Structure formats: structure tokens, C-alpha cells
Amino acid sequence: MKRILLLTFCLLFTSLFSSYATHVIGGRIGYTHLSDSTYKVTLVIYTDCTGDSLLLSYMQGMSPNVWASTDTVKRLVPLTIDTALSGVPLMPPCPQPLVDQCTSLTSLIPGFRKYVYSANFTLLSAAKTWLFLYDGTNASSFAPPVSSGRSLQVTNLLSSGSTMQLMATVSGRFPGSSPVITNAISTYFCMGFPGAYNPGIIDPDGDSITVSLVAPMNGNTGIFAPYVSPYTATAPLAIVPGSFLFSPATGNMSFMPNQFQRSVVVYKIDKSRAGILIGSSEYEMTVLVEGCSDPCTLDIAATNKDEQTTIYPDPAIDQMNISSATFDYSSVTISNALGQAVLTQKLVTKETTVNISHLPCGVYYLLLEGNNTRKMHKVVISR
């Protein structure tokens, strides 16, 4: 019996570690000036909610490792969790709450949580510029250190599942706090519809800020996580050509996604005073593009399909029927999980049968389009 229990325990935590290692969808690091040469270093980690109960327990029990260093000194700064701010689900700002994967694992709506860790550190030399480096490793009361791995489903990096690394710098000669991100990480965007995100960057000291997009680092290796061609640090998204706009003054980015994707984007925020660079911080997020037309009226959720249009059977086998009482749509396009169109057909009656016998089993996105409307549904082909 003891052997069985031990085996069960080991399998449980092996599963937990492997799942945690690929469930980080973003993070940010910064610092707050407390007094003299003492700073509060803060790390925020964002995760998805798959395997939520085990992941929640692990995140609450871990201590991320941050290194504070200059050219001659290196010190470990173990961070502790801020329980009041951690485990908080992130939701779109919708009129009505959505049931996402943090609430129900059967939901099709992605769910994310944030976790906040911090510790105070006194600069050993005020004449130096200090680097605060989170290399992605975390001490834990459960097991040896585990890395904060990016999702295996990342689409714009070659090393999917690579370890997240974040860094911030502060000049001991110019005390101050790093810029603050006031807007929560965006949960997801809709494929084929305009998207925008503004991190809401505010500098508490009134210093000047400049925002740039940089390549993500791979753990404590000191090398960049390589991109899948044609993506780069400044062009990290699959978008309609010419639709990506980025503001170095605010960090606001707008775009028109043309593929389903899970793309890593990294902000570097530089802080200057009287023209002198005195600090920097980093913020990583994942741009998740789903099949929807509005994050508050998700078409990927069965309960949000418009009542006058029916798509059946679900899951489908060899054919799919589209019934529209109002006949608002004139065409249907079916795309695979990579956003590639695999079937297009005109709709000439209120009842249409679409032959899908040639399509492999899997998840697809069905886009209905008319003169003044478009609607997207998530569909499954299963045999």
C-alpha cells in the first residue's frame, strides 16, 4: 500500500511539474524605491488555468529566484508570494462575467491567472548600475527548482516550451521606481477582427519612458529564443500586411490578425531622467488569437452562438448543415487550426449542406460572412 501511495504521489507531482513548465503565458519584472538604497523587487507571472487546482497549489508554494548583480557582485534574492494579489483570474472587461477555464475546465474560453512575488533588496554599492535578473527558475517546497516554461503551443518561436527570462536595471546614482503597467495582460483577440493592446505604462517619478519590442530570452542561457521565419522581435505577429502599428511612447500596439496563433511579445521599457538612461524593465505577454468576433460575445462558446443560425451536427462527420432563419450570410469559409482556409462555399439558401468528408479530423473555425455581418464558430470533425 505504501508503495502504491508513493507511486501515486510521484506521478501526481511529475504531472504537475511538466504541466507547469509549459503553462506560463507571460510575466513582468520591476522595482519600487523604498528608501536610500533599498528597493522592493517585484515579479508577476501569468499562467493559463489548465490543470488549475494543481497549478494553483504549486504557484502558491514556490519562490522565484532573482539575481541582483553588477560587474563585480552577484546576490540571490529569493522572492515570496503576495497572497492577496495572487491567484487572481484575468477576465475581459465585459458587461457580464464569462465562465472561463479558471472556473470550468470544460469551458472553451481561455482562462488566465496572475501571481505576484516580491522581496526587498539593498544595493551594496550606490555607485553602480544593478541588474535584477529572473532566469526562470523557482525554488519550491514541493520539489527541486522547476523552470517557468513557455507554452508548447507558441507559434512564433522555434523553441516552443522555452524558459521565460526577464530583467530590469536600476542606477544607484538616480533612485527611483520602475514604470508601472496599469492594464492587465490581454486574454485573447479575435481572428480576422481588429485587435489592440495598451499596457497603460505610467512612471511614478515622472521620468521619460521609451518602449521597444525585443526578442525573448531563453532562460538563463544568455541567448535569444529563435523565431520562426518570418517573425522577428519588432514583427512578432501573424497579421494582415501593413496592419501592425506600435507606439514607442506608450507601447500601444494595434493589428489585424489573419491566423490563429499564440505569439510571444516582449516589451522593454527604458526610463530616462534629463536625457540620461537610469533604468529599464521587461514585460512579456502572449497574444492568443481565437475564433471569435468579440471577446465579450465569444462564438467559440456554444452558448454564445446566435440563436437564429444553427450549425449541426456537432461534432460533424462527413457533412455539416448551416441553417439561418434570417439568411444574413452569403458565404462560409472553413479554416484549420493554423488559420489556413481549407474550404469556401457560397450560401444561396437558408439551409445549406457542406461536404467535409475530405477534411481530416480535428478542430476547425467556420467563418460566416454577409454584406454587413460576419460570425465565427468553432467546429469539430470527428469520425
Per-residue pLDDT reduced to its tens digit, 151-204 = 888 999 997 778 999 999 999 999 999 999 999 888 889 888 899 999 999 999
Q: Quick one: pLDDT at residue 119?
A: 98
CA atoms within 13 A on the CB side of 9: 8
What's the pLDDT at 105? 67
pTM check: above 0.85: no
Q: Dihedrals φ, ψ of 237, to 5°?
A: -115, 155
Half-sphere exposure at residue 120, Cβ-oriented, CA atoms within 13 angstroms: 7
Average pLDDT in the 36-56 region? 87
Question: All domains of the chain, ordered by start, with CATH?
Answer: 19-290 (no CATH), 309-381 (2.60.40.1930)
The C-alpha atoms of residue 170 and residue 153 are separated, in whole angstroms, by: 34
pLDDT of residue 95: 76
pLDDT value of position 16: 41
pLDDT of residue 147: 84
Predicted local distance difference test score (pLDDT) of residue 17: 41
Q: What is the pLDDT of residue 104?
A: 77
Higher pLDDT, 266 or 309: 266
Instruction: Specify the higher pLDDT residue, 207 or 337.
Output: 207
pLDDT in tens, 340-369: 789 999 998 989 999 999 999 987 888 888
H/E element holding 16?
helix 2-20
- What does 136-148 look like in DSSP terms, one character per residue? EEEEESSSS-EE-
| Cβ-based neighbour number of residue 54 at 10 Å | 16
Q: Average per-residue pLDDT in the chain? A: 85
* Stretch among 45-49, 146-150, 174-178, 229-233 having the lowest mean pLDDT: 146-150
